[in-house]
Chains A and B, each alone.
Chain A
Amino acid sequence: MGNWITSIGLDIGTSTTKFIVSHLSIAEQGSPFHLPTSQIIDRTVVYASSIYTTPLTSNHDIDMESLLTILSTEYEQSGIHMKDVKAGAVIITGETARKENAEKIINYLADRAGDFVVATAGADLEGILAGKGSGAKVRSEEIEGIVANVDIGGGTANVALFEAGRAIQTFTFHVGGRLIRINDQEEVVYISEYVRPWLEANCLSHQTGKGITFHELKELCTRMNQSMISFLSGKPKYHADLLLVEPIDKPLPLIKEIIFSGGVGHMMAGKEPSQINEVTTFGDIGPLLASTLLKVSKLSGFHLINAKETTRATVIGAGMQNTEISGATVFVQEDLLPIKNLPIVRIMVDTLEFNAVAFTNQLDEVIKQARRLYEVEDPPFALGLLGMDYCSYQTMKSMTSTICQLFHQHFPNATCLVVICESDIGKALGQSLKKTSHEGMQIICIDQVDFLHGDYIDLGFRTAGEAISLSVKTLAFG
């Protein structure tokens, strides 16, 4: 038994906009002797748009009129019926990643694509999606060691590190093709405020309105790449920390292979510019950044792997990889679905050496914190149980009674409790919560969800057996 769902992806970046349609095939697997399982067994792109220049009215405001014209043309050409779209993501990246832009687009799509498409922005998720689209995730499953995907577009370079098929760390550099723009008179017309501190620290003080030579530009691009690559190799040079959007939250592990994607990644395979007029084709440093990156990274000692997708890596990741499905034995009250933009509140649970007192204290802390943020919503949040190993009946009972009691105490008016976990015990946990909770409390308990790198979750409809579709994301827009 199998079925498929249509998913769309829309990537609106600092410099380009792309759109894809994909089919996700879902199959119920498992023999009659085991618990059922459901999996997405195939993800195929059925339509890919051409690459558009993102229409902007200023440096970072999207020209909605023009964008909507592009979208309606693309919808028509792709031949899909919007009512069939059951999943997908709009991803707004780089310098255009602003809340106002995202809200406008999601409002437009909500009318045409139903409520299934999520708008999301944020470099973490974007980097991970690009790494899934470029083939870095799959590559990390095949080799021993860590694969870094560096997706370089107009505004930022998003790095996602993958190990054995899992994203383990993400960070972002202010490195991109359109951070510095030049006109055909060989003058600098724009320098992004984000790169100014790094430029000054490196004594590369160019100014807008002033001329710049081919040699100077090349030196700037080389230095920028050297700085970024030195950071990836664990020995930061040329004030690489000034290129980071945010300091990294944990020490960088040893990276074995690098895949470059994004528009700049795409241009790395192109001809190396030798004169300034070849550079100014796009009015920015993109081509030169790409060709110097190729040289710098070849000298770096990293093993370089070709990306399966470069410019379209993020949109393919967004359209094809954003939707997952839950475990096939879960506890769901269907009339409550879909639920969107539910914040995930995490708690570590040691089920092997379960300590009821420690769990109660920890959960009390976590729920109190959640109450300050999400008091009025119902359900207020999804409780994410992390780190669970084998769970005995006794441990589960103790856990569920604590959860029910504290949830009711801190959210006396809530009528729905949502719990998500990684290990395959969602149905047992859900049934136990239902039995323990107050009369009338509605319970949703979903398992086999990987929510390590997400802050919000959307719960969709049933797709195969009891399994529901879901997507985990880093930002939410109402």
Chain B
Amino acid sequence: MENHQLEGLRKFTPARIGVGRTGTRPLTKDFLSFRIDHAAAVDAVYGEVSSELLQEFNLFAVETCYGTKEEYLKRPDKGRVLSVEGEQLISERCVRNPQVQIVISDGLSASAINENLLDVYPALLDSLSLYQIEVGTPFFVKGGRVACMDAIGEILNPEAFILLIGERPGLVCAHSLSAYMCYRPRKGMKESERMVISNIHRRGTPPIEAAAHIGTLVNKMLEQKASGVSLVV
């Protein structure tokens, strides 16, 4: 294959194609870039969300029952349950029955929050305010899984819910963010009621455009009193 053709194929995908080899082993530069990307993925999982960032947006932090990072990885169920202190803090500090509850969680990538929150969060608040949707008291959940929204829903009873959570990192991108949404979160709700905009990062779904679109989706959820497969978009 000619060089320019290979270049053309490379432009189509961020995947590692046409990396070359020496004997049975990859080239040193490709091997090193693989190691670097792997290290970034591990760092994303074990990293911490910047406390200055949380302060900047006035987000207080609660934890789930995950205990340690190892436990978090082995036991997804523990990331869905809030700690007793966490539940208490939420009850004390949050407005009840808001139109929309926004929660931010590190999930499997703290760097997803560190990289994207500055763009996604304020654009999301702008979008919701344009639709005249009232936002409850936002906060941060450490060690959260997607379904922690159900547990929080039981306490605060919001009409709609937006969870900005770090995605499982890959070797292409370690700081990709997802926005999970649903109408009336509660224990035992079906997965088909949840919606998601995924792959939010600099080179993926543009963060500010994703935020603008989430506003439109939530507005539709409130209008139709539904989410997931039953929502007409």
Contact = CB atoms under 8 A, between A and B. Distances in A.
Contacts, number: 74
A34 B199 contact: yes
A424 B212 CA distance: 11
Contacts of A331: 212
Interface string B149-181: 000000000000000000000000000000000
Interface in A13-58: 32-36
Contacts of B147: none
B212 A33 contact: no
B208 interface: yes
Contacts of B5: 144
Nearest to A436: B126
Contact of B130 (A34, A391, A396, A434): A434
A426 interface: yes
B213 A329 contact: yes
B209 A34 contact: no
Contacts of A432: 123, 126
Contacts of B120: 393
A424 B209 contact: yes
A32 B208 contact: no
Interface stretch (B27-35, B84-92, B103-111, B190-198): B190-198
Interface residues of A, number: 26
Contacts of A426: 209
Contacts of A275: none
Interface string B196-216: 111100110111111111011
Interface in A424-438: 424-428, 430-432, 434-435
B122 interface: yes
B118 A392 contact: yes
Contacts of A427: 209, 212-213, 216
B213 A35 contact: yes
Contacts of A396: 123, 208
B4 A390 contact: no
A360 interface: no
Interface in A382-432: 390-394, 396, 423-428, 430-432
A393 B130 contact: no
B114 interface: no
Interface of A: 32-36, 144, 329, 331, 390-394, 396, 423-428, 430-432, 434-435, 465
Interface of B: 4-5, 8, 118-120, 122-123, 126-127, 129-130, 195-199, 202-203, 205-213, 215-216, 233
